[in-house]
Structure 1
Amino acid sequence: MTRLNKYHILPALALLLFGAILGVQFDSRLSADDALNQFEKLKQAFVIINGKYVERVDSKAMVEEGVKGMLKSLDPHSSYIPPEQVRDTRDRYQGSFGGIGIRFEPGDTARVVAPIAGGPSEKVGIMAGDRIVEIEDSTAIGLSGDQIQDRLKGKIGTEVTLTIYRPLADKRLTFTISRDEIPLYSIRSSYMVDDKTGYIEITRFAMSTHKEFMEKVTSLKKQGMERLVLDLRNNPGGVMQSAVKIADEMLGADMTLVRTKGRSAEMNTRYKGHDGGALENQPITVLINRQSASASEILAGALQDHDRALLVGRRTFGKALVQKQFELNDGSLMQMTVGRYYTPVGRLIQTPYEKGKMQQYYEEKSTSWRDAVYNVEEYKKSIPDSLVFKTDHGRTVFGGGGILPDYVVAPDTTSLATFIRGSQLDAIFAREWFSRHEQQIRSTWQNREQEFLASYEVPNDAISAFWSFAQEEDVLTLTPTPDSVNVKERVFPQSEADDLNSFVRSRLKGRLANVIYGTGTGQPILNRSNPTFQKAMSLWPSSIDLAGYHTASSPLKNE
C-alpha cells in the first residue's frame, strides 16, 4: 500500500470528502493512486489559473464550468443545477412550495389568471383579472415571470404585501397575504369525454402525482367512467416512483413494472405490482409523443409490455437513464445518472449516445424519430434483432430509442391546421384578443366556467381578426392560388383558410377558456380538433381486447 506524505494529505482528504458527499465509490478499475493523481492535477490547474492568468478570474464561475464539463462528458442527461435554481427544482419534485396561491400570466403587468381555490390569495380577495403592480412597495411592472415568482415565494407563514390594479373596478388595492403551502399540480385536465370515457392528462411526475391521479380516478368513476384515456403527451417525466405507483394501479400482483440497474447495489431493483389496483380491468388508451420522456416512458412501457393498454400517437423521447441529486457545498446540485431502467420484458429504450457528443445525440434522435413517424414499416425493419422483444401475449415491441406506439398518428405536414396547432398561433392570438376585450368578457363570464364551455361562441369578427393578425405579423401568408402551399415559407391558399373557420373558432374558444379560467380548462374543446385524440377514440375495440387479457369478462367486451 502506498504511503501518503504530507503533501498528499490535503488533496486526499478532499478526495475522500468529495466521495462521501456524492455517496459513491471510485471506479474499481481506477486505483487510489490514480484517482489521487487525477484529483491533484485538477487542483493544480485551478491554482495556476486562479493565480497566474492574465486577468482576474471568477473562481466560482470557473468551478461551476468545471463541474458542468465533467458532467457533460458522462451522458446527455447528467446536469448541474446552480444554487439559485435548486429551490424551484425541488419544488417541482416535491409538488408544493410556500407561496400565495395564484396562477398568473406575465406581461407588462402580470395578470392573475385565477387564485387557487382555498388558497391564501382567494381568502383575502384576489380575483382573476387583477394586475400585479407592486410587491412589497417595489414595482412589479415589467418583471419576468421568474422574477415575480421569486418575490412571491417564501417560507410558509411569512407575509408579503401585494398591490394590484383591478380593471373591472378601476381601482388599486393592497393586500397583505400570509404564505401557505401551495400545491404544484401534475394533472392539468380531467373530464368525462362521454358517458363512459374518462380523460386524465398528466403533465409531469412529482411526489404528489399518484395522490392526484387517484383523486381524479375516484371522481371520474363516480361520474360513470368505464374506460380511460391517459394523456402523457409532452410529459418530460420526473419522479420515477410516482409513475411506478400509477402503473401498479393498472397491473396485477407480482407483475414487473420496471427494473433498474446500476453500479451500486441499491440501483439493482425490480419493482413489482400489488393486488387491488383501482384500474386493473378497465380498457385504457395512452397518448404519447416525442416529448413523452423518462417516467412517462416507464409507465407507457409497463402498460405496453403487459398488453394492458393501447398506445397511440408518436414515438417517445427515449430516455432510460436514472438520475439522482447530490448536493455540493454551496447548495448547488449535481443531477447525475446512477443507473438505467428496463421495461418489464427487458427493453432498454434509451437512445444510443457517445459520451460528450450532445449535438450528435439530438441530431440522430431527430432523424430516427422522423423515420418512426413517416416510414414506420421501414423503421421497424431497420431495428436489429437484439432490440426486438415480445409482450406477455406475443405482440412485437422494440427497444433502442423510445417507445413506438401501437398505432402511429403521423401529422399532415402540408396542412394549415397542423401549422396552426404546431406554431401555437391560436394561443398567441387568443391572449392578444382577450387583452383587448377583457372587461367585456369578464363582466359576462366571470365565475361561469361551465356555462362558458357549454354555450360561448367566438364572434365572427374574432375569426376575421385572427387571419388578419396572422398575416400582419408575418406568421403566414394566404394567397388566392390553390396550389401555393409552401410550409417552409408559411404560404397557404386562401381557400384552405376559408375551410378552417369552424376549426379556428373551436381552437380559439379552447384557448380563451385557458386564458380566462386557467390552463387545462379548454382541453375538452381542444381535444375535439386534435387528430391523435380523435384517432384514439376510434380505436376502443383494440383497447377493449387488451383489457380482456386482464379480466375474465370485460364489461365492454361486446361493444
Structure 2
Amino acid sequence: MRQRKFYTFGAMLLLVGMLLGVQIGAVIFHDDTARALKKLEDAFILINQRYVEEVDSAELAERAIKGMLEALDPHSVYIDAERMKRVTEDFDASFEGIGIGYELVPGPDGQDTLTVLNVIPGGPSEEAGLLSGDRIIAVDGASAIGYTHEDVQRNLKGPRGTRVTVTVLRPGYPDTLEVTITRDKIPIYTVLSAYMLDEKTGYLKLDRFARTTYAEFMQAMRRLKAQGMERLVLDLRGNAGGYMEMAIRISDEFLKEGQLIVSQRGRLPETNEAYYARPGGLFEDKPVIVLVDEHSASASEIVAGALQDHDRALIVGRRTFGKGLVQKQYLLDDGSALRVTVARYYTPSGRLIQTPYDNGDREDYYRTKLELQKEFETMSAEEILNHIPDSLKFTTDTGRVVFAGGGILPDYIVKGERTSPFLQAVLRGGVENDFVRYWLDRNAETVHARWDGRRDAFLNTFEVTDEMLAAFYRFAGEKGIRVVDEKPAGGEENGKVQYFTRDEVGQDEAQLRALLKGRIATRLYDRSAWYPVINRIDRTLNEAMKLWAPAENLSFHHGEGG
C-alpha cells in the first residue's frame, strides 16, 4: 500500500468503488479459468439445445450469473437492465420528467387515482401551477384512472424539453383543469434537510452519497455558517451509503491536512489505496455530533469511522450496519451490471467494520445481523463493551478505545424508542397519511391561501388543534382503530377492530400532533419540511443536544493537533 496519497478528483473517478460506466475489457485467463469457463459454456449450450422444453436463454444466463454471485459475499450482486436505469438515476441524483412526488390513492372498483403528493421546488410542475392534492385524471387526453407506478414512469417521465398535458381535478374546485408541462431535468436531493436547530447549532440530514452529494453538502454548510452555525449535528441515520468518493470528500472537510480518512486493500495491487485529507477544510475545528443507527452503512460508516478515530466528532445513536466492503460496478452489453466486491476498507485506526459472513449464505448473514441488533437493544453500554473481544479493540488519536467488527459502535448509545401499540397500528395502516390527505382535500382552498409560500411561518406557528385531533380519532375509528373510554369485553370486534383507551392514546398525543403536522408540511412544501417538525420529538437528537460538552472537548483537542 502506498504510504501517502493525496487524492484528486480525477484520480478518484478512476479508482474508487461503485463507479458507473466501467466496461469489462480484455481478460487474460489462466488455464484453470479457461477450462471452467468452457465447462460453463458447454452446459449452457447443452441445456438450450437438449432440454425437453424451450428455455429462455436470457433468463437462464441471468440465473447463472446470480448463482455465481451467491457463492461470494452478501454485497456482490447482479442488477438487471431495467433496475439499472433506476439505480443510475438514484446515483446521478437526477431524472427527466415533470417534477412531482406522487401517490396512488385507492378509488372505486380498485382503480387507483394518481395524486400529487408535492411538487419539487423550482421544477416544471411548480412553474405550471400544480398543487399538492391535485388528482391527475388524464395524461395527453387518455385516462389516468387505474394508473400503476409503471404507467407513471412511462407517461410522465420523458426527455427534457418534451411536453405533456395533464387533466387535473383539484379539491374544492368544480371544474377540471388542463395543464401543459414542459419536462426538464429534475434533481433528486441527497441533503434532505439543513436548518438551524438554535442560534448556533446547525442540523444537516444526509440521505445517501450520490454524484451531487458533496456539492449539496458544501452549499448547505455555507448557508448554515452564514446563519451563525458554530456547531453541527450531521444526521446519517438511515443512510445506506453510495459513492465512496463522496464520503471521503465530506470527511475531508472536517479533518486536518495529512490525516488518513480511509484505506482499502484487495487482491489486486491497484485496489490498495489510502486517502488523506487535504488542506483547507470548511469545518475543521468546530464541534460536531454525528447521528447513526443500524441502517447507517458503507459510505456513512467511512465518515463516522474517520471522524471517530481522529477524535473529531462525537458519534451518537445505535451501532451501524457493518459494511466494510468496496464494490466496483461493471456494465454488461445489455445495460445490466455486476457490482463486485474488489476490496475491504479500513478506518484510520485500522478497523475492519464488516460484519462476518460465510460465503454464499446471505440469508444467515442478514438474519444474524437482525438478531444482533435485537440483542444490543436489550444490553447496556457496559454490557456491549464487555461483549466485544480484545482482538477487536483499537485506539483513537487520543487513546480512546473503539471497536471493529459489525459496524461503528457510537461513543454514546441511545436505544431506539419503542412505538406504542396505538401508533404502531396507525403507522402500519398509513392512517395518519390518509387522514392528512382527507383533511387537506376538505380545507384545500383555505390552507393554500394561508400557507403557500409561507413555509417558515407554518413550521413556527401552525398547530394541530384539539378539534383536528378529535377529527383524526373519528377518522381512525372508521379505519378500525377506535379510541374509547373503556375497552369492550374481548378487546376486539370480529378480529378487525382494535380498541385503545383514551388514557393509552393520551400518552402519544405529542407524537401524534407532530406526526400530523409533519405530514401536512411535507405535502404543502417538500420532504425537507418534515424534519424541523419531527425532530422536536426525536429522542436521539434531543439526547445528542445534551452532549455538546464532550463534543467541544474533542474539537478542542483536534484543534490542538491531538
Q: Structure 1 length as normaliser, TM-score?
A: 0.87
> What displacement does 1:393 show?
0.8
Quick one: structure 1 residues 521 and 412, their matched pair in 2 at CA, closer, same or farther if it must change by over 3 Å?
closer
1:462 counterpart = 2:473: no
> What displacement does 1:538 show?
0.9
* Distance in 2 (alpha carbons) for counterparts of 1:230 and 1:65: 41
1:109 counterpart = 2:113: yes
Quick one: structure 1 residues 421 and 166, their matched pair in 2 at CA, closer, same or farther if it must change by over 3 Å?
closer
Quick one: structure 1 residues 189 and 371, their matched pair in 2 at CA, closer, same or farther if it must change by over 3 Å?
same
Map of 1:556 onto structure 2: none
Map of 1:400 onto structure 2: 405
Higher deviation after alignment, 263-272 or 230-239: 263-272
Map of 1:179 onto structure 2: 183
> What displacement does 1:330 show?
1.0
Among candidates 148, 152, 159, match of residue 144 of structure 1: 148
Give the letter aligned to residue 542 of structure 2.
Q
* Distance in 1 (alpha carbons) for counterparts of 2:286 and 2:257: 16
Map of 1:242 onto structure 2: 246
Quick one: structure 1 residues 147 and 271, their matched pair in 2 at CA, closer, same or farther if it must change by over 3 Å?
farther
Higher deviation after alignment, 439-448 or 68-77: 439-448
* Distance in 1 (alpha carbons) for counterparts of 2:482 and 2:235: 30
1:453 counterpart = 2:459: yes
Map of 2:24 onto structure 1: 22
Among candidates 211, 217, 226, match of residue 222 of structure 1: 226
Quick one: structure 1 residues 61 and 186, their matched pair in 2 at CA, closer, same or farther if it must change by over 3 Å?
same
Give yes or no for contact 1:310–1:542 (8 Å, CA) kept in 2. yes
Map of 2:334 onto structure 1: 330
Q: Percent identity?
A: 44
* Distance in 1 (alpha carbons) for counterparts of 2:263 and 2:104: 42
> What displacement does 1:426 show?
6.8
1:517 counterpart = 2:525: yes
> What displacement does 1:378 show?
2.5
Among candidates 78, 81, 87, match of residue 80 of structure 1: 78
Higher deviation after alignment, 426-435 or 189-198: 426-435
Quick one: structure 1 residues 241 and 166, their matched pair in 2 at CA, closer, same or farther if it must change by over 3 Å?
same
1:47 counterpart = 2:30: no
Map of 2:14 onto structure 1: none
> What displacement does 1:474 show?
5.1
Higher deviation after alignment, 191-200 or 413-422: 413-422
> What displacement does 1:212 show?
0.5
Give yes or no for contact 1:297–1:403 (8 Å, CA) kept in 2. yes
Map of 1:345 onto structure 2: 349
5 Å-filtered alignment, 1:156-555, equals: 156-375=160-379, 376-413=381-418, 415=420, 419=424, 423=428, 427-434=432-439, 436-439=441-444, 440-468=446-474, 473=479, 480=486, 494-552=502-560
> What displacement does 1:357 show?
0.5
Give yes or no for contact 1:262–1:338 (8 Å, CA) kept in 2. yes
* Distance in 2 (alpha carbons) for counterparts of 1:412 and 1:497: 16
1:92 counterpart = 2:90: yes
Quick one: structure 1 residues 284 and 129, their matched pair in 2 at CA, closer, same or farther if it must change by over 3 Å?
same
Show CA shifts across 1:170-189 (max 9, x none): 33333443332221100111
* Distance in 1 (alpha carbons) for counterparts of 2:359 and 2:101: 40
- Structure 2: tracts of 5 or more residues without a match: 1-21, 106-111, 492-496
> What displacement does 1:387 show?
1.2
* Distance in 2 (alpha carbons) for counterparts of 1:228 and 1:320: 26
The number of residues matched between the two structures is: 525
Give the letter aligned to residue 135 of structure 1.
V
Higher deviation after alignment, 471-480 or 237-246: 471-480
Give yes or no for contact 1:426–1:504 (8 Å, CA) kept in 2. no
Give yes or no for contact 1:315–1:373 (8 Å, CA) kept in 2. no
Give yes or no for contact 1:100–1:152 (8 Å, CA) kept in 2. yes
* Distance in 2 (alpha carbons) for counterparts of 1:202 and 1:420: 29
Q: Secondary structure at the match of 2:559?
A: coil
Show CA shifts across 1:214-272 (max 9, x none): 11111111111111111111111111111111111111101111111112333211111
* Distance in 2 (alpha carbons) for counterparts of 1:285 and 1:329: 45
Quick one: structure 1 residues 324 and 139, their matched pair in 2 at CA, closer, same or farther if it must change by over 3 Å?
farther
- Structure 1: tracts of 5 or more residues without a match: 1-19, 554-559
1:58 counterpart = 2:60: no
Show CA shifts across 1:314-356 (max 9, x none): 1111111111111112111111211111111111111100111
Give the letter aligned to residue 535 of structure 1.
E
Quick one: structure 1 residues 133 and 257, their matched pair in 2 at CA, closer, same or farther if it must change by over 3 Å?
same
* Distance in 1 (alpha carbons) for counterparts of 2:498 and 2:192: 31
Higher deviation after alignment, 433-442 or 394-403: 433-442
> What displacement does 1:476 show?
8.5
RMSD of Structure 2 on Structure 1 (CA): 2.8
* Distance in 1 (alpha carbons) for counterparts of 2:407 and 2:531: 26
Quick one: structure 1 residues 181 and 393, their matched pair in 2 at CA, closer, same or farther if it must change by over 3 Å?
same
Give yes or no for contact 1:429–1:469 (8 Å, CA) kept in 2. no
Give yes or no for contact 1:430–1:512 (8 Å, CA) kept in 2. no
* Distance in 2 (alpha carbons) for counterparts of 1:389 and 1:115: 48
> What displacement does 1:493 show?
5.7
* Distance in 1 (alpha carbons) for counterparts of 2:100 and 2:71: 40
Higher relative contact order (CA 8 A, sep 6+): 2
